Amino acid sequence: MSSEAASQILKIIDQAELTAPQIQGNLAVSGIVDTSAELYNGIVSTQIALELGNMKVEETGHVPSLRFFAEEPTLIRCGEGVLGGGKQDRIIAESTVVEGHRNLNVFCIEAGRWEHSQGEWLHTNTPISMRKAILEGRNQQHVWSMVQQILSSWGVRSGTSALGELYAHFGHEFERFVSRFKWSDDDIGMIVTVDGKVLGVEIFGDKMGLRRDYTAILKESYAPLALRGTVREMTYQEINSGISDFLSELHSGQRRAQIVHHEGSLAYACVV
């Protein structure tokens, strides 16, 4: 992990205000508040860019690479998936801001297909455990193994071993589970705790970034892991203790951190 990224993220959290955790069973979300942050910094999300047709994705002929064309600055986060529009579903291996065209490293999350399907590229997030594996430097074989483990844990059968089948089968259940969570107007990020342990931190460079992706990230990255646990109601004491442990781990280099800047300003940061 980058010690510089960890130091910057610790500084952001230290200077921010943390909201009281919202709790739903074993999942808790603590907002990271920065009243001085701008509402919108001109960077759009991958999902919106794809939906509006302002981003195109093309095969390069190589499994671990895709070519992205973005008409405006677009935040692409490590762990985001693009599904259905190419020869395989993929997961993005690096967080960056793309404007113009650029080839990005990806991992395959659909082992049983190498042919074009009908339709456009669609967007999803993937379980936070997938992002952790990528930031730890795991290889393609490990990612395929994780896909199989996740599908098996949910009893999902996929003819092409596609992670996207998880959301096709259980997306509505995940969405119902996280529907009670809301952001506040000044939130730029969130600390997400499952079973008393911080699984991830998401921080955006503006307030609009979190609002755009808040529900989708919780639904697709964290709900699949939370709902495989005990789903018992956590206490505030457990959550606060988990956050304290997390900050110590981040400070001592035990956590993976990543930060993205665009034109000298923060675009996105995450910790797993």
pLDDT digits (tens, 9 = 90+) for 206-231: 999 999 999 999 999 999 999 987 77
How many angstroms separate the first and last alpha carbons of the chain?
A: 10
pTM: 0.96
pLDDT for 269 beyond 50: yes
pLDDT digits (tens, 9 = 90+) for 78-87: 999 999 999 9
pLDDT digits (tens, 9 = 90+) for 152-206: 999 999 999 999 999 999 999 999 999 999 999 999 999 999 999 999 999 999 9
